[in-house]
Each structure stands twice: as structure tokens, then as C-alpha cells.
Amino acid sequence: MLDEILHLFYPHVCAGCYTLLVDGEREICSKCTASFDRFSDADAADYAVKEVFRKTFPEDDLPQKAWALYRFHKNDRLQSIIHAMKYGGEHRLGKVFGRFLAELIQTGANAADRYDCIVPVPLHRLKAVERTYNQSEVIADSLAEFLGTDVRVDLVVRKKYTRSQTGLSPRERLGNVRDAFAATGKVMPENILLVDDVFTTGATVAAVMQSLRSAGVGNISLATIVFAA
């Protein structure tokens, strides 16, 4: 906790190991970044995420494309950094991860991977007050800057206040987000890139995707920082 507080006041140290950052490093040092278990390529991440959808939501349409940066490992530096981003007020980390995601998408995309807009998984308004910001929206804003598209936070809302998914079983996660999201009635674009920070069982993003598809979205892809399934 003390280290996290120090990082807030002295942002030129790494959020993972608290060593001084050097020129070219932002928020996370290159040593910590190299320690993260990164997927070998975009296709490997796409396959891993879609396998979870195939097993858990066999009747649902798959994401058109699934982008993920890292595999999750308990108690490693990436876990502590994600925790600092979600709960410790270190929103700058979301900007860094958004840039990392953009680099992955730009190097792994083809001509068909063009998105009309980026949609972050929404927080309930009360939870947004508790946390002061939506980390998925910060990631989406950074990603959009590099991809040259818009972020839309007006297409879907979280209408039900839900408990954290952390610590819940897969069945409990599904029940927790059932009917939690709703489309707003806006005219929907054809191709959406949905952004969430961590992908575990897929329950949350599946619920958001269902609400978007019911409102007429044709193609939905997914981008996430951590694959924790």
C-alpha cells in the first residue's frame, strides 16, 4: 500500500517494481513489461478467447476478432499493476495499456479489421462514483487515439448495480451480470470494438455483446489487456 501511495506522488517510478523510469518508459519499466506472459501472436490470443466463448456460450455468436495482450498469473507484477489501475487510482496505466493494445491491433490487423467506434464496458453510475473513473474507458480513449476512431459511451449502459466478479464462480458470474446491460436506443454502427480490462469467464463482455447485438450491431470484436480464464 505504501509503495502504491508513493507512486501516486512520484509518478516517475515503475508501477510494478517502483524503480526509477528511464527515457522512453511510461508508468511501467521495460523489465516489468518483459516479465509479463505475452501471447506469442494475435492469432494465439484470438483462439484462447474464442475457446472460452465456445465452451461457455455455445449458442452465442463469437466475437469477430479477439485481441488480448497477456495471460494472467496470480501474484505476479502484472496482477499488482492491474489492481493499481482498477482500484488504486492510477488511471495513467490505462493510457499505457491502450497504447500497447493499439500496437498489437495495428500489427496484427488486416483490411477487414476496421472499427466504426470503440465501446468500453460501462460501469454502473454508482460504481463510477466509487472508483472516480472507468478504467476500460481510459484504455478505450488511449486506443482510439492511436487507431484514429471514436469512443462511444452512449450506446450501452449498465442498468443494474452488481457486485464485483472477483471471487465468484463461473455460474455466479453469469447470474451476477444477467440483464445488467441495455442498449440506449441510439443508432448502432455496424462494426464495434468492445474494450474490457480483464477477461476471465467472458460473462461480462458476453452480456454487453448480447445487448449490442439485440440493438442491431452487426460485428463485434473484443480487446482486453489480460486473459485470466
Per DSSP, the residues of 169-199 read -HHHHHHHHTT-EEE-SPPPPSEEEEEEEEE
For residue 69, being part of any structural domain is answered with yes
**Does residue 5 lie in a domain region?**
no
Q: What is the mean predicted confidence (pLDDT) over 48-70?
A: 94
- The strand pairing partners of 156, in sequence order, are 183
- Please report whether residue 90 resides in a domain: yes
Question: What are the φ/ψ torsions at residue 59 (nearest 5 degrees)?
Answer: -95, -10
Amino acid at 11: P
Whether 21 is covered by a domain: the verdict is no
Does the pLDDT at position 59 exceed 80? Answer: yes
Print the domain residue range for 61: 37-227
Return the pLDDT at 174: 64
Q: Is residue 4 part of a domain?
A: no
101/106 Cα distance (integer angstroms): 9
Is residue 206 in a domain?
Answer: yes
Using alpha carbons, select from 199, 167, 212 the residue that is nearest to residue 66. Answer: 199
Structural domains in the chain (count): 1
Query: pLDDT of 149-165, one tens digit each?
Result: 999 999 999 987 665 66
Which pLDDT belongs to residue 36?
98
Higher pLDDT, 83 or 165: 83
What confidence tens digit (pLDDT) does each residue in 120-136 have? 999 988 776 777 899 99
Q: What is the pTM of this model?
A: 0.89
Residue 11, domain member (yes or no): no
- Domain CATH for 112: 3.40.50.2020
